Amino acid sequence: MPAVAVKIVIEETRALAREILQKANFPAQLIEARYGKQAIALTRKFAPDLVIIDMDAPGASEAVTQISSEHLAPMLLLTSFTKPLASFREKSGVLACLNKSVDERSFLATAQIALSRWREMKALAEELSELKEALATRKLTDRAKGILMERYHISEEESYRRIQKYAMKKRLTVKKVAEAIITAKSKSTNSC
């Protein structure tokens, strides 16, 4: 179980999830929704760690689709049927799906897995974003170095050193300096 209380939005017609979580003393702040649109609104408002949705509740598929498309939170689906949901689950990015007749132990284990997988996915998304930013910075820096090398007839190392030195002097990032060099070059080329 998590060491800190997690926020969970529950949208279901029966009190199954709430009962299981409370009985197991699962440290969670439970936020209950009566229907799909309310689940979407509460998920946006509270940014829960997990959303539990009863697929038999009104507006459930809309809620799953919307929450998934906005990447708001991990979802655990409860249903009376498991087969029809398999393809829906894959398309919507739902992390777990359980039959309503699930026992407490399986429910809690599945909720933990969904929480853990969501955290892993978020960490990977952040890492990917950082890598994309680093690559973009590197491409800009390489272009800026090329401009300085051509203009001043200096080595690649010297051009990078100048970019770094200027960035430190002006308290700018290397990326900002590289962008300025590229912009200045394109303006001088266009004005000729």
- Cα 76 → chain centroid: 17
Q: Tokens for 118? A: 């969501």
Q: Taking Cα atoms as reference points, which of 23, 83, 21 lies closest to residue 52?
A: 21
CATH code, domain with 179 = 1.10.10.10
Look at residue 136 and tell me if it is in a domain. Answer: yes
CA pseudo-torsion sign 28, 30, 35, 40: negative
Predicted confidence pLDDT, tens digits, the chain (192 residues)? 444 457 888 777 667 888 888 888 888 888 888 888 999 999 999 999 899 988 888 898 899 999 989 989 989 888 887 555 666 666 666 788 888 888 889 989 998 898 898 889 889 999 999 999 999 999 999 999 999 999 999 999 999 999 999 999 999 999 999 999 999 999 888 775
12 and 72 in a common domain:
yes
Whose structure tokens read 């990326």? 175
166 and 91 in a common domain:
no
Residue that is last in its domain, among 84, 102, 120: 102
Contact in structure between 50 and 76 (CB atoms under 8 Å): yes
160 and 81 in a common domain:
no
Residue that is last in its domain, among 85, 102, 119: 102
- Total of domains in the chain: 2
Look at residue 43 and tell me if it is in a domain. Answer: yes
Contact in structure between 146 and 134 (CB atoms under 8 Å): no
CA distance linking residue 27 with residue 16, whole number of Å = 16
Q: What pLDDT, on the 0 to 100 scale, is given for residue 15?
A: 76
Look at residue 76 and tell me if it is in a domain. Answer: yes
pTM as predicted: 0.69
78 and 24 in a common domain:
yes
Look at residue 179 and tell me if it is in a domain. Answer: yes
CATH code, domain with 26 = 3.40.50.2300
- Domain range holding 39? 6-102
159 and 75 in a common domain:
no
